[in-house]
Amino acid sequence: MPEILCTTVYQFPELSDAAKEKARGWYREAAFTDDWWDAVYDDFERICAILGVDLKTRPVRLMGGGARARPCIWFSGFSSQGDGACFEATVRHAKGSAREIRAYAPKDQALHGIADRLQDAQQRNFYQLSAEVTHRGRYYHEYCMTIDVTRDSPTDQAPAEGSEEAVTEALRDLARWLYRQLKAEHDHLTSDEAIEEGIIVNEYTFTETGRRFG
């Protein structure tokens, strides 16, 4: 014979501190999506385009069949030694990049410095430098990128002294910059404030102990 059971449920603000912590833990596990980094990737793609960094792509299968091209960006994080981010790309001179990056990100001194160093290296080589960036190994950080810098000179001139190192370090700094943005976004999305906002907006209810009810 069916029984009717009555359960008292609570909105998040009505829970005890211990129950709130359990509710936040549930939301972190259940509601955190696999594509939380998409906004950071989109921003990074725009920045790369400004800097002359043409990100390579790879096909990714979709749930309904078919595939889409995704940029060759990888990262691991955020609590282990060796965590970081890396990418694959072809790099060439981008006219006006130092000016454009300041217009796009006026307060980001790190990006300004990267653009200036790439521009300076190009200027010293008559804008003939290019670089191929590939990922190697099974880890994901800036030192997992092989960076091959060459000069397309009609007279077969080698890159000016120090240019290869300057471009290489600038691109590694770009990978470091990406990792910092990913970590900041992750820290924000998993903060108590963001978690509580998500719970309240979605009007989830809980038992007295903080167990999700509905």
Residues 54 and 151 in one domain: yes
Residues 182 and 211 in one domain: no
User: What is the structure's pLDDT at 134?
Assistant: 98
Residues 152 and 132 in one domain: yes
Residues 51 and 79 in one domain: yes
Residue 65, Ramachandran bin (φ over 0: left; ψ between -120 and 50: alpha; else beta): left
Residues 41 and 131 in one domain: yes
Average pLDDT, the chain: 93
Nearest-angstrom CA–CA distance, 47 and 171? 12
Residues 50 and 23 in one domain: no
Q: What is the pLDDT of residues 177-187, one digit of tens each?
A: 999 999 999 99
Q: Which of 35, 106, 22 is nearest to 70 (CA)?
A: 35
List % helix, strand, coil for the chain (3-state, nearest 5): 45, 20, 35
Whole-prediction pTM value?
0.89
More confident residue, 86 or 189: 86
User: What is the structure's pLDDT at 21?
Assistant: 94
- 103-128 mean pLDDT: 98
Query: Which tokens go with 174?
Result: 């770009």
Residues 167 and 64 in one domain: yes
Residues 42 and 126 in one domain: yes
Q: What is the pLDDT of residues 47-64, one digit of tens each?
A: 999 999 999 999 877 777
Residues 60 and 143 in one domain: yes
Nearest-angstrom CA–CA distance, 123 and 61? 41
- What angle, 0 to 180 degrees and rounded to 10, lies between the N-to-C axes of helices 97-104 and 38-51? 150
Domain that holds residue 40: 35-189
More confident residue, 82 or 44: 44
Residues 151 and 50 in one domain: yes
Number of domains in the chain: 2
Inform me whether the pLDDT recorded for 199 exceeds 70.
yes
Q: Which of 181, 180, 187, 179 is nearest to 144 (CA)?
A: 179
Residues 17 and 91 in one domain: no
According to DSSP, the residues that pair with 73 across neighbouring strands are 87
